[in-house]
Amino acid sequence: MVGEDPFALFGAWYGEAEKAEPNDPNGMVLATATPDGRPSARMVLLKGWDKDGFVFYTNLESRKGVELAANAHVALLFHWKSLRRQIRIEGAAAAVTAAEADAYFATRPRLSRLGAWASDQSRVMESKASLTAKVAALELRYVVGEIPRPPHWSGFRVTPEAFEFWQDMPFRLHDRTLFRREGEQWRTEKLYP
Protein backbone atom coordinates (compact mmCIF):
# COMPACT_ATOMS: atom_id res chain seq x y z
CA MET A 1 0.00 0.00 0.00
CA VAL A 2 1.33 3.43 -0.93
CA GLY A 3 1.44 5.77 2.03
CA GLU A 4 1.77 9.52 2.12
CA ASP A 5 5.54 9.51 2.56
CA PRO A 6 7.62 8.96 -0.60
CA PHE A 7 10.79 8.61 1.49
CA ALA A 8 9.29 5.64 3.36
CA LEU A 9 8.28 4.01 0.09
CA PHE A 10 11.74 4.70 -1.36
CA GLY A 11 13.29 3.08 1.73
CA ALA A 12 11.15 -0.04 1.35
CA TRP A 13 11.90 -0.43 -2.36
CA TYR A 14 15.60 0.37 -1.89
CA GLY A 15 15.84 -2.22 0.89
CA GLU A 16 14.34 -4.85 -1.42
CA ALA A 17 16.77 -3.82 -4.18
CA GLU A 18 19.75 -4.20 -1.83
CA LYS A 19 18.70 -7.83 -1.31
CA ALA A 20 17.72 -8.64 -4.90
CA GLU A 21 20.03 -6.71 -7.23
CA PRO A 22 23.28 -8.56 -7.98
CA ASN A 23 25.29 -5.40 -8.80
CA ASP A 24 25.12 -1.83 -7.52
CA PRO A 25 21.56 -1.48 -6.20
CA ASN A 26 22.69 2.10 -5.42
CA GLY A 27 23.41 2.82 -9.11
CA MET A 28 21.31 5.68 -10.44
CA VAL A 29 21.13 7.74 -13.58
CA LEU A 30 21.88 11.41 -12.96
CA ALA A 31 20.48 13.70 -15.65
CA THR A 32 21.75 17.27 -15.80
CA ALA A 33 21.41 20.00 -18.39
CA THR A 34 23.45 22.91 -19.66
CA PRO A 35 22.10 26.44 -19.12
CA ASP A 36 20.63 26.31 -22.66
CA GLY A 37 18.84 23.02 -21.90
CA ARG A 38 21.06 20.39 -23.54
CA PRO A 39 20.61 17.22 -21.49
CA SER A 40 23.32 14.86 -20.30
CA ALA A 41 22.91 11.61 -18.35
CA ARG A 42 25.30 9.19 -16.69
CA MET A 43 25.39 6.55 -13.97
CA VAL A 44 26.54 7.56 -10.49
CA LEU A 45 26.33 5.82 -7.13
CA LEU A 46 24.00 6.88 -4.33
CA LYS A 47 26.20 7.29 -1.25
CA GLY A 48 23.59 8.34 1.28
CA TRP A 49 19.99 9.39 1.62
CA ASP A 50 17.57 10.68 4.20
CA LYS A 51 14.62 13.09 4.37
CA ASP A 52 16.94 15.90 3.26
CA GLY A 53 17.76 14.20 -0.04
CA PHE A 54 19.98 11.89 -2.05
CA VAL A 55 23.78 12.26 -1.99
CA PHE A 56 26.44 11.47 -4.60
CA TYR A 57 30.06 12.58 -5.05
CA THR A 58 32.05 13.78 -8.05
CA ASN A 59 34.85 15.88 -9.45
CA LEU A 60 33.47 19.44 -9.48
CA GLU A 61 35.40 20.17 -12.69
CA SER A 62 33.81 17.23 -14.56
CA ARG A 63 31.05 17.80 -17.07
CA LYS A 64 28.39 17.02 -14.47
CA GLY A 65 30.06 19.29 -11.91
CA VAL A 66 30.17 22.19 -14.37
CA GLU A 67 26.57 21.61 -15.44
CA LEU A 68 25.40 21.44 -11.81
CA ALA A 69 27.15 24.74 -11.07
CA ALA A 70 25.23 26.37 -13.93
CA ASN A 71 21.87 24.62 -13.53
CA ALA A 72 20.98 22.86 -10.28
CA HIS A 73 17.82 21.16 -11.61
CA VAL A 74 18.36 17.42 -12.02
CA ALA A 75 16.59 14.11 -12.39
CA LEU A 76 17.61 10.81 -10.82
CA LEU A 77 16.49 7.38 -12.00
CA PHE A 78 16.80 4.11 -10.12
CA HIS A 79 16.03 1.05 -12.26
CA TRP A 80 15.99 -2.37 -10.65
CA LYS A 81 15.44 -4.81 -13.51
CA SER A 82 15.24 -7.90 -11.29
CA LEU A 83 12.38 -6.28 -9.32
CA ARG A 84 10.78 -4.76 -12.43
CA ARG A 85 10.67 -1.38 -10.72
CA GLN A 86 11.98 2.11 -11.19
CA ILE A 87 11.88 5.35 -9.24
CA ARG A 88 12.27 8.75 -10.87
CA ILE A 89 13.18 11.72 -8.67
CA GLU A 90 13.25 15.36 -9.78
CA GLY A 91 14.71 18.16 -7.70
CA ALA A 92 17.54 20.58 -7.16
CA ALA A 93 21.13 19.68 -6.29
CA ALA A 94 23.13 21.61 -3.71
CA ALA A 95 26.66 21.06 -2.43
CA VAL A 96 27.14 18.97 0.69
CA THR A 97 29.16 20.52 3.51
CA ALA A 98 32.95 20.26 3.47
CA ALA A 99 32.72 18.12 6.62
CA GLU A 100 30.38 15.65 4.89
CA ALA A 101 32.64 15.47 1.83
CA ASP A 102 35.75 15.01 4.00
CA ALA A 103 34.09 12.24 6.02
CA TYR A 104 33.00 10.32 2.94
CA PHE A 105 36.32 10.85 1.14
CA ALA A 106 38.16 9.31 4.11
CA THR A 107 36.13 6.07 3.67
CA ARG A 108 37.16 5.57 0.05
CA PRO A 109 39.89 3.04 -0.82
CA ARG A 110 43.38 4.53 -1.01
CA LEU A 111 43.64 4.15 -4.79
CA SER A 112 40.25 5.84 -5.27
CA ARG A 113 41.45 8.79 -3.19
CA LEU A 114 44.63 9.02 -5.29
CA GLY A 115 42.52 8.76 -8.43
CA ALA A 116 40.42 11.74 -7.33
CA TRP A 117 43.62 13.80 -7.36
CA ALA A 118 45.02 12.31 -10.57
CA SER A 119 41.98 12.38 -12.83
CA ASP A 120 41.06 15.45 -14.85
CA GLN A 121 37.62 13.89 -15.17
CA SER A 122 35.73 14.47 -18.45
CA ARG A 123 38.72 16.10 -20.14
CA VAL A 124 40.79 14.61 -22.95
CA MET A 125 43.53 12.28 -21.68
CA GLU A 126 46.84 12.18 -23.58
CA SER A 127 47.36 8.52 -22.75
CA LYS A 128 46.65 5.91 -20.11
CA ALA A 129 50.37 6.14 -19.28
CA SER A 130 49.95 9.80 -18.30
CA LEU A 131 47.23 8.87 -15.79
CA THR A 132 49.32 5.99 -14.45
CA ALA A 133 52.29 8.34 -14.02
CA LYS A 134 50.17 10.87 -12.12
CA VAL A 135 48.90 8.14 -9.78
CA ALA A 136 52.46 6.86 -9.22
CA ALA A 137 53.70 10.37 -8.36
CA LEU A 138 50.82 10.81 -5.91
CA GLU A 139 51.59 7.44 -4.30
CA LEU A 140 55.10 8.72 -3.57
CA ARG A 141 53.78 12.05 -2.31
CA TYR A 142 51.33 10.38 0.10
CA VAL A 143 53.43 7.41 1.26
CA VAL A 144 52.73 8.32 4.88
CA GLY A 145 49.64 9.88 6.39
CA GLU A 146 46.19 10.63 5.15
CA ILE A 147 45.35 11.67 1.62
CA PRO A 148 43.40 14.93 1.89
CA ARG A 149 40.28 15.54 -0.18
CA PRO A 150 41.09 17.54 -3.32
CA PRO A 151 39.46 20.98 -3.45
CA HIS A 152 37.86 20.03 -6.78
CA TRP A 153 36.11 16.93 -5.35
CA SER A 154 32.91 17.03 -3.31
CA GLY A 155 29.32 15.92 -3.22
CA PHE A 156 25.79 17.04 -3.97
CA ARG A 157 22.48 16.46 -2.24
CA VAL A 158 19.40 16.31 -4.45
CA THR A 159 16.34 17.63 -2.62
CA PRO A 160 13.28 16.02 -4.21
CA GLU A 161 10.37 18.02 -5.57
CA ALA A 162 8.75 14.96 -7.18
CA PHE A 163 8.98 11.15 -7.05
CA GLU A 164 7.46 8.70 -9.49
CA PHE A 165 7.28 5.04 -8.47
CA TRP A 166 6.81 2.64 -11.39
CA GLN A 167 6.00 -1.04 -11.01
CA ASP A 168 5.83 -3.35 -14.04
CA MET A 169 2.46 -5.08 -14.40
CA PRO A 170 1.10 -7.63 -16.91
CA PHE A 171 -0.04 -6.42 -20.31
CA ARG A 172 1.77 -3.09 -19.84
CA LEU A 173 -0.85 -1.94 -17.33
CA HIS A 174 1.94 -0.65 -15.11
CA ASP A 175 1.34 0.92 -11.72
CA ARG A 176 2.60 4.51 -11.56
CA THR A 177 2.37 6.69 -8.46
CA LEU A 178 3.44 10.33 -8.51
CA PHE A 179 4.33 12.27 -5.36
CA ARG A 180 4.65 16.04 -5.85
CA ARG A 181 5.79 18.38 -3.07
CA GLU A 182 3.34 21.11 -2.14
CA GLY A 183 4.93 23.14 0.64
CA GLU A 184 5.62 20.71 3.47
CA GLN A 185 3.12 18.13 2.18
CA TRP A 186 3.19 15.59 -0.64
CA ARG A 187 0.30 15.28 -3.09
CA THR A 188 -0.17 11.76 -4.45
CA GLU A 189 -1.67 10.91 -7.83
CA LYS A 190 -1.95 7.77 -9.94
CA LEU A 191 -0.79 8.06 -13.56
CA TYR A 192 -1.93 6.13 -16.58
CA PRO A 193 0.67 3.54 -17.64
At 131, the amino acid letter reads L
42 domain-assigned: yes
Our CA angle for 113, 114, 119, nearest 5°, is 105
114 domain-assigned: no
Query: Pairing relation of β-strands 48-50 and 53-59?
Result: antiparallel
Divide the 193 residues of the chain into consecutive groups of 10 and give the mean pLDDT of each group.
82 97 95 94 98 97 96 97 96 98 97 94 90 92 94 98 96 95 94 95
CA distances from residue 30 to 113, 122, 183, 193 in whole angstroms, order as listed? 22, 15, 25, 23
Kindly calculate the radius of gyration of the chain based on its CA atoms and give it in whole angstroms.
19
Instruction: Give the CATH number of the domain where residue 187 resides.
Output: 2.30.110.10
What is the pLDDT at residue 22? 86
Give CA–CA dist 102/44, Å, rounded: 19
160 domain-assigned: yes
What is the pLDDT at residue 4? 84
120 domain-assigned: no
Please give the residue range of the domain that contains residue 175: 6-108+151-191
101 domain-assigned: yes
What is the pLDDT at residue 1? 40
3-state secondary structure the chain: CCCCCHHHHHHHHHHHHHHHCCCCCCEEEEEEECCCCCEEEEEEECCEEECCEEEEEEECCCHHHHHHHHCCEEEEEEEEHHHCEEEEEEEEEEECCHHHHHHHHHHCCHHHHHHHHHCCCCCCCCCHHHHHHHHHHHHHHCCCCCCCCCCCEEEEEEEEEEEEEEECCHHHCCEEEEEEEECCEEEEEEECC
Q: What is the pTM of this model?
A: 0.93
142 domain-assigned: no
1 domain-assigned: no
**Number of domains present in the structure of the chain:** 1
Query: Catalytic residue among 85, 110, 172, 187, which?
Result: 172
Task: Check if 172 is active-site.
Answer: yes
